[in-house]
Amino acid sequence: MKNLTASNPVRSLITRAGIFAITAVAGLLGAAAPAQAQQVYYFASTDWRHWFHNWDDNFHIDTVVDEMFVMTDRMGFGMPLPGGGGFSSFHGGGVAFFTSGANGIADGIVQVTTVYGIDLTPGAPQVSLTGFDPLNPQLVPLSGETIYSRFGTTYESVASLTLPLSNIGSILPGHDLSWFAGGDPGSTLYAFQTYAPLDEFLAPAPGSLALLGLGGVLAVRRRR
């Protein structure tokens, strides 16, 4: 079994819908303080890139996100035997999406959705994904996904999905889908979903948020 380890994620400009400091202030004459607003996180980052220039049978891939959210993850993939045309090299790519406080996901819980396909822009700063050939996929998943928090705690995926690129929005409501803008709608993506406590993956040091001008795509919203 080989391990294919991702390099540090490619840095690109963060887009922020807003970061809010929330303060509850008691009213006069003993009035109750207003309920604290709930923060909603939508964050996405390049998770994995690898050039497959030789055929291999089974292997693990290890990926890294080290930005607003911090994690590593591992899953097993297999590479089907080449057809009559022989092996054709390709660039694999993955994106990690983090959601909290929205889409039925409670405040304090994060849903991690990782999506894997073919990287159309291997030389660009940000990955752009299309899917695998639905009839002769270049890769097939052999296991679920294990993710490791910034503390080293492990969490196992609760869903392993195979879906056409045209349906990717159904599992990523609220997220920026420009990662898939150049992809073939009929191609096949692999996705894994995992749930964990938000503070296991959200990087601390809120005072350093201004330094995160290099990273993935983030939207932090306030919901009452």
Tell me the pLDDT band of 78, cut-offs 50, 70 and 90: confident
**pLDDT, tens digit, 9 for 90 and up, residues 164-191:** 999 999 999 999 999 999 999 999 999 9
Over range 111-135, report the average pLDDT: 95
What predicted TM-score, i.e. pTM, was given to this entire model?
0.75
Is pLDDT larger for residue 213 or for residue 86? Answer: 86
Q: What is the pLDDT of residue 63?
A: 72
Six-digit token string for 157:
């995926």
Q: Which residues of 95-126 are buried (b: 16+ CB within 10 A; e: fewer)?
A: bbbbbbbbeebeeeebbbbbbbbbbbeeeeeb
Q: What is the pLDDT of residue 85?
A: 59
Is pLDDT larger for residue 27 or for residue 111? Answer: 111
Element (H, E) at 96: strand 90-100
CB 171 within 8 A of CB 161: yes
Tell me the pLDDT band of 27, cut-offs 50, 70 and 90: very low
Measure the CA–CA gap between 62 and 102, rounded to whole angstroms: 28
Q: What is the pLDDT of residue 96?
A: 95
> What does the mean pLDDT of the chain come to?
77
Rounded alpha-carbon distances, angstroms, from residue 167 to 170, 183, 189, 190? 6, 12, 9, 12
Six-digit token string for 133:
């050939």
**pLDDT, tens digit, 9 for 90 and up, residues 54-65:** 777 566 667 778
Over range 87-100, report the average pLDDT: 91
Measure the CA–CA gap between 114 and 21, rounded to whole angstroms: 29
Q: What is the pLDDT of residue 162?
A: 97
Measure the CA–CA gap between 61 and 114, rounded to whole angstroms: 13
In percent, the amount of the chain with pLDDT more than 90 equals: 52
Measure the CA–CA gap between 77 and 68, rounded to whole angstroms: 27
